[in-house]
Structure formats: structure tokens, C-alpha cells
């Protein structure tokens, strides 16, 4: 089976959210132990990953140095974090595979994601990133061309475009490596955002792309049988935070769409993961799984997780609850 695994932020930082280099190395090492079990089970694996904490660190450096050197643009931040996280994955996944008697080579690609220059997000940036700052600290960044908003008592915060992913430009290279037996790391942080100008040239832009939505685009492009979105819980949950809360098990596309339309999944947490899962299945390319990082191998075996399937592939047993 060809599987695309999208690793969330919990795979990149320590249990307490620490993003020190040592905490990141240890967290990625733990994540790769779980990924290695999927590879050892005989699956072809492509990995994508988040980069929020890492880009956040770079933004702080931008802020502190803005009066001395020009801030690094967001596309550069994305490229830098892809490189750092990618080589750390190489350093930890290779020994994890060796421990299991596997000799698969691993490659990490610096990956660009094409977006539409006319995407409405560019006209009205709304995605908040980075820290809140007092105006006197935000002003040098504003003078460098960044968009910041006054958020009242909390201070000023930067807002950027979050356009829809259209295409991962390095897909052909990825497929070549996959065909040669590699485990491939690609589209980190949703990919480096780029647009194509009228003359065909490609250039980076100041934006952030939702990593799970890019994972769905890439999973379709490589013909994946399953899109696995790894997070910090075993299942998506209905009526979260109420006495009626219950985990979602195996569901059809229509059932999960109905739950999403009912506002069951918060836009700031589970919502984008559910949307990515729905998009992949909606295109008829396989099944989507949302589950905890340490259960991804079990979820592929059908033992745990929220599994979204097309109606023609499998029957459904909606929520895992005797109350339904």
C-alpha cells in the first residue's frame, strides 16, 4: 500500500511544547520509530510534516534583528525549516529502520507548493502568525513591508495570506525516488508557497499554506491508497467537551461531511484535518485516517482511528459509541 503520513506539530516538539534543538531531535526520533514500523510492514511511505514552532523561532529572530538586518521572508523560512527538519528526519529514521532490519534509503526534498496569485487570501491576509508585540517593536517590521494588526490589549500581531494549495511542484521527483525504493520526506509545512507568473517563471511569496490540505493534494498526485493524518488524539470526537462526547470510528464520506457541516470540528484544531481527509476521499483516491502518532500502524490495520471511506469501498460504523 502507498501511504502518505502527515505529521503534526506534536511530532516536532517536546511533550511540553519545547522547541529547543535537543527537544526537537528527541521528538522527531520518537516519531520516526512509529514511521519505521509502517515501512517495515511493507508499505511505500511518503512523509509530510508541520513546521509551526520552527518558523515561529525564525520569526522571533526576525523581530529581534529587524533594525540590523532585513527580515527573512516567509518562503525562505519555509525552505530553511524544510531543510532542518528534513535532515533531522534522515538522521533518526535511518537508524530506526536499521533497528527493524530495514535498509530502505531515505530522501528529503525541498518542496515548493504552487498557489494561485489571485487567491483571495492575498487581498485580505487574515492568518495570524508569530507573537504579539507592542507597536514600537512591530513598527520596524511594518516598515519592511509586513502586515500587522492592532489586537487591542494583547498588542500587534502579524497577519499573512493562507492560500489554497494547487500543486506540489516536485511531485515528479518524489515519484522517481519512490519508485527507486526511497522513503521520501516532502512538502514540509505545506510546502514553500510559490506563484507562477505570466511568463512561466516561479517565485516565492509571503504566505503560509495549511500542511494538511497540501498533504491531501500530494496524496492524490502520487496515487496514495491512504492519507494518514497523525495528531495527538486517537480519533476525531463528536460533541467535544460535552458529556455526549464520543470518538468517531469508521465513517463514510457523506457521514463525515455531515458532521463537519454541523460544526463538529473546530477550525483551529481538528477542522483542517477533517477537511483534508474529506478532500482526499472525495476525489476517489482511497481512505483517510486521523489518529494518534503512536497508533498509525494500528490505524492502517483498521484497529483504531477515525477512518473516512468512500461509500463504494467499505460499509460504515459511524461513531464508536453504544449511545448511537
Q: Any idea where the domains of the chain sit in the sequence? A: 2-309
Which CATH code of 3.30.450.190, 3.60.10.10, 3.10.400.10, 3.40.1160.10 fits the domain covering 2-309? 3.40.1160.10
Catalytic residue, chosen from 10, 51, 62, 235, is 10
pLDDT band with cut points at 50, 70 and 90 for residue 324: very low
pLDDT band with cut points at 50, 70 and 90 for residue 144: confident
- Catalytic site residue 263? no
Catalytic residue, chosen from 50, 211, 286, 305, is 211
- Catalytic site residue 61? no
pLDDT band with cut points at 50, 70 and 90 for residue 312: low
pLDDT (0 to 100) of residue 52? 85
Task: State the pTM of this model.
Answer: 0.90
- Catalytic site residue 273? yes
- Catalytic site residue 62? no
**Residue-averaged pLDDT of the chain:** 90
How many whole angstroms separate alpha carbon 78 and alpha carbon 25? 18
- Catalytic site residue 10? yes
Amino acid at each position: 500500500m502507498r501511504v502518505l503520513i502527515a505529521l503534526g506539530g506534536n511530532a516536532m516538539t517536546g511533550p511540553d511544547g519545547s522547541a529547543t534543538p535537543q527537544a526537537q531531535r528527541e521528538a522527531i526520533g520518537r516519531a520516526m520509530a512509529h514511521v519505521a514500523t509502517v515501512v517495515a510492514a511493507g508499505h511505500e511511505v511518503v512523509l509530510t510534516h508541520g513546521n509551526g514552532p520552527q518558523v515561529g523561532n525564525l520569526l522571533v529572530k526576525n523581530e529581534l534583528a529587524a533594525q540590523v538586518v532585513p527580515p527573512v521572508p516567509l518562503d525562505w523560512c519555509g525552505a530553511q525549516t524544510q531543510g532542518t527538519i528534513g535532515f533531522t528526519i534522515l538522521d533518526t529514521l535511518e537508524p530506526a529502520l536499521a533497528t527493524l532490519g530495514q535498509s530502505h534509503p531515505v530522501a528529503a526534498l525541498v518542496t515548493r507548493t504552487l498557489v494561485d496569485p489571485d487567491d483571495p487570501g492575498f487581498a485580505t491576509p487574515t492568518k495570524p502568525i508569530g507573537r504579539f508585540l507592542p507597536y514600537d517593536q512591530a513598527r520596524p517590521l511594518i516598515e519592511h513591508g509586513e502586515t500587522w494588526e492592532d489586537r487591542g490589549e494583547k498588542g500587534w500581531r502579524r497577519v499573512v495570506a493562507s492560500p489554497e494549495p494547487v500543486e506540489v511542484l516536485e511531485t515528479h521527483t518524489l515519484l522517481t525516488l519512490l519508485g527507486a525504493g526511497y522513503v521520501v520526506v516532502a512538502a514540509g509545512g505545506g510546502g514553500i508557497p510559490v506563484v507562477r507568473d505570466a511568463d512561466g517563471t516561479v517565485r516565492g511569496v509571503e504566505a503560509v499554506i495549511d500542511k494538511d490540505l497540501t498533504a491531501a493534494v500530494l496524496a492524490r498526485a502520487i496515487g496514495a491508497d491512504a492519507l494518514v493524518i497523525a495528531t495527538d488524539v486517537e480519533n476525531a470526537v463528536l460533541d467535544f467537551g460535552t458529556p455526549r462526547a464520543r470518538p468517531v470510528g469508521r465513517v463514510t464520506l457523506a457521514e463525515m461531511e455531515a458532521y463537519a457541516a454541523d460544526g463538529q470540528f473546530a477550525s483551529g484544531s481538528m477542522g483542517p484535518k477533517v477537511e483534508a481527509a474529506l478532500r482526499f476521499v472525495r476525489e476517489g483516491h482511497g481512505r483517510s485516517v486521523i489518529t494518534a502518532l503512536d497508533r498509525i500502524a494500528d490505524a492502517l490495520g483498521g484497529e483504531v482511528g477515525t477512518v473516512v471511506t468512500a461509500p463504494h469501498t467499505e460499509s460504515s460504523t459511524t461513531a464508536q459509541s453504544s449511545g448511537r
